[in-house]
Amino acid sequence: MNYQKAADYIKEKIGDKKPEIAIILGSGLGVLSEDIKDKIVINYKDIPDFPVSTVEGHKGELLIGNIGEKTIIAMNGRVHYYEGYDLSQVTFPIRVFSLLGVKNLILTNASGGINTNFRAGDFMVINDHISFFTESALRGKNDDTFGPRFPDMSQVYDKELIVKLKEIVKKHTGRACEGVYACLKGPTFETPAEIRALRTLGVDAVGLSTVPEAVIANHCGLRISAISCITNMAAGILDEKLSYDDVKNTAEKVKGDFRNIIKEYICTY
């Protein structure tokens, strides 16, 4: 895959804008796009090799512009393993961002809450992850230009940023959750037995994204922070069936908080 060709294409479109923060907007969380000023919009389909999402709620646009004093590059929509993409495609944008000189990555997603202290509509700051359930995004020949063959994973999510982000979440919503995220393959929601197993393993929230991107971003030395919108309690916790409509409806309800949290957070960098 030609990361440099994609980066060159974007560079040509954005001229002298130098994004320092990249943010990936998860399911139903694209609302932040309205806050990006003086923005340049690039369709994923026009960028060489860039993967295009097939999921409703995931627009395929790269937005480059300003929030406060910061120049950011936002992915309005991402692609997932369950859509049939290889993890090299899922994570392709991360390496492109690194070639553009981006130093910080903010990952956002929708997830199911496993920790029974959580409730739908909460925001969980991710402090670690479990990647056992998907293959590694680094499987295959190592590209030494990005990072080492055997990367350390002892601090993927920046500790200082976890504290900062939690404070902002608390300020806007009155509460803040923190915990471990596990990425599953999907596209099925989990069974209640799977959720009990994940709880035993110490997982607080489950979803279908984020970990591959974090693995690649950690490999190429980006400073990472991640936040999950708990759109529903995971299977079997409440006596109800799950549907993607619940995910979208909760994301829609909390989008104002999400927008304010991220806007304020970006300005603290």
Cα 59 to Cα 228: distance, rounded to the nearest angstrom: 19
Cis bond upstream, residue 187 (ω within 30): yes
Least distance (Å) between residue 111 CB and ligand HPA: 5
Cα 28 to Cα 53: distance, rounded to the nearest angstrom: 13
Contacting residue, 234, 254, 261, 262, with ligand HPA by CB under 6 A: 234
- Single out the segment in contact with ligand HPA by CB under 6 A; choices: 107-115, 139-147, 150-158, 256-264: 107-115
Residue with tokens 């359930």: 133
DSSP 7-74: HHHHHHHHTT----EEEEE-TT-GGGGGG-EEEEEEEGGGSTT-----STT---EEEEEEETTEEEEE
Size of the site for ligand HPA (CB under 6 A): 13
Residue with tokens 């130098």: 18
Is 7 one of the binding residues for ligand HPA (CB under 6 A)? no
Is 89 one of the binding residues for ligand HPA (CB under 6 A)? no
Short-list 143, 135, 110, CA closest to 124: 110
Here's the x/- map for ligand HPA, 147-176, by CB under 6 A: it reads as ------------------------------
Is 190 one of the binding residues for ligand HPA (CB under 6 A)? yes
Contacting residue, 28, 93, 207, 212, with ligand HPA by CB under 6 A: 207
Here's the x/- map for ligand HPA, 247-266, by CB under 6 A: it reads as x-------------------
Least distance (Å) between residue 27 CB and ligand HPA: 7
What are the angstrom distances between the C-alpha of 225 and each of 155, 198, 251, 254?
A: 11, 22, 19, 20
Is 231 one of the binding residues for ligand HPA (CB under 6 A)? yes
Contacting residue, 53, 111, 127, 218, with ligand HPA by CB under 6 A: 111
Residue type, 217: A
Considering the complex, state which of residue 147 and residue 207 has its C-beta at the smaller distance from ligand HPA.
207
Q: Classify 250 as helix, strand or coil.
A: helix
Is 28 one of the binding residues for ligand HPA (CB under 6 A)? no
Least distance (Å) between residue 224 CB and ligand HPA: 20
The residues of the shown chain that bind ligand HPA, judged by CB under 6 A, are 110-112, 189-190, 206-208, 231-232, 234, 242, 247
